[in-house]
Chain A
Amino acid sequence: MPAVFSIDPRSGVPLYLQLIEQVKRAVALGTLAAGEQLPTVKALAVDLTVNPNTVARAYRELERDRVIETSPGRGSFVRSDEGNADVRRAVEDVGASVLAGAVREARSLGLERDTVRALFERALERWFAGNDREDT
């Protein structure tokens, strides 16, 4: 079953970047499983009502990031290398950009580094409760 991607063409974030992020997220969450086939460029472009060259650009970059692989005539698939370090790195990429955005926003509110760190620790504690708490 093709994964459903939600993109916003009206956003100021380039569409191909939105798509890359969505695919990485789907791989991270497992809604796109290792070895699973992605829709063709044409099918996805028609499905999302977006320009096919934009979809093709996203696929090319995902291939370069070794998240997907394309074999001519067969289509594009989520890579299924053992242990798939590239997929894990893709997951970290998504996480890193989310956190970077949060830190940037916090700084743009005028918060100091120490305040941001304290807030981050508090958030960690809330969402990773029960893990290492000795340093707080």
Chain B
Amino acid sequence: MNTIAIRNLTKRYGDQLAVDDLTLEVEEGSVCGLLGPNGAGKTTAFKSLLGLLRPTSGTLEVLGAPVTPATFESLAFVPERNDLYEWMTVGEQLALARRTYKTFDPKRAAELGALFKLDSRKKIKRLSKGQQSAVALTLAFAFRPRVLVLDEPSSGLDPIFQRVALDLIIDAAASGATVLFSSHQVGQVERAADRVAILKDGKLVLDGNIDTLKGEEKIVEAVFEQNAIAPNGLASDPRVRRIESSGRVLRAFVRSDSAGIVRLLEAHNPKAVSVYDLALEDIFLGAVAGPANAYGEAS
């Protein structure tokens, strides 16, 4: 079952298209990392999913049904800007959550508070942005929700607490929770998620299992005796995202079947052909930068 289902979501603000026909489904137990430049539509997609924004069109479901207040008994949302009660102390905020959520686990909350070194007597408004994020994460994870939607969960956190936040996501996933989180840090997605979705200008430009993408997305580089000339049809080959050539070197950015592309290039008598792996960061940058038609549909 897909625990989170965003289907054909479009959100328009006036004449600006914030999210453009986005379909993204996250299956039960999966952790999906959402990457994209600022303004790509990540926050709008989250808010639409959770009923905090009215979509222009589209179908949005969590646990097989549209989101209602009851959904929040099994779903935790950590927004990009925290929605804590600033006049409360950390302890009061936790006590409120304890009364609100049947499944709130005070022991777990105390553990998380200790991990993040939170002082329960401090007023929320006196905390740094990072500490406020830590409170929001403590609240979210302490009631052991089945679904977590986290909008930049580690913003403002120092590297040590960022690792704590990653550990929390991994621990929740290992207990069967489904997680959708956005981040600007590819390394976090690379560790915590099994799946990545990349948004650009409100559109989904790449989506898939991270290990599968890493296994398929390659650079095939051929060095020729003389100036490299791309074989006919290579640039429009469905297995090839784009090609670059400079001097005697030809590089093909391949989306699948690198071995087939190697054979194809070897038929043109290169001096040498090599295959290079792409890290998720390279895959991400390739998806959001470069020529507009390099990834996704051709223009």
Contacts and interface: CB of A to CB of B under 8 A. Distances in A.
Interface of A: 9-17, 41-42, 45-46, 49-54, 57, 104-105, 107-110
Contacts of A9: 187, 190-191
Interface in B1-55: 29-31
Nearest to A107: B272
6 contacts: A10-B281, A12-B218, A41-B174, A49-B166, A51-B194, A54-B194
* Most B-side CB within 10 Å, residue of A41, A46, A50: A50
Nearest to B175: A42
Contacts of A50: 170, 191-192
A41 B173 CA distance: 11
A77 B194 CA distance: 24
Nearest to B275: A104
B187 A51 contact: no
B197 to A, nearest CB: 15
B214 A14 contact: yes
A17 to B, nearest CB: 7
A9 to B, nearest CB: 5
Given A15-B211, A49-B163, A53-B194, A42 B174 contact: yes
A51 B31 contact: yes
A14 B274 CA distance: 18
A38 to B, nearest CB: 15
Contacts of A11: 277, 279
B203 to A, nearest CB: 25
A46 B170 contact: yes
Given A17-B211, A108-B272, A49 B187 contact: no
A42 B278 CA distance: 27
Contact of B211 (A42, A46, A52, A54): A54
Contact of B214 (A12, A51, A108, A110): A12
Contacts of B192: 49-51
A46 B163 contact: no
Contact of B174 (A45, A108, A109): A45
A57 B214 CA distance: 15
B212 interface: yes
Contacts of B215: 14, 17
Given A15-B211, A17-B215, A51 B274 contact: no
A89 B69 CA distance: 56
Give the one of B167, B173, B174, B282 with max A CB within 10 A: B174
Contacts of B212: 14
B63 interface: no
A109 B30 CA distance: 41
A16 B170 contact: no
What 4 A-B pairs have minimum CB-CB distances, sorted nearest first?
A12-B277, A14-B211, A108-B274, A42-B174
B272 A110 contact: yes
B276 interface: yes
Given A9-B191, A14-B215, A51 B273 contact: no
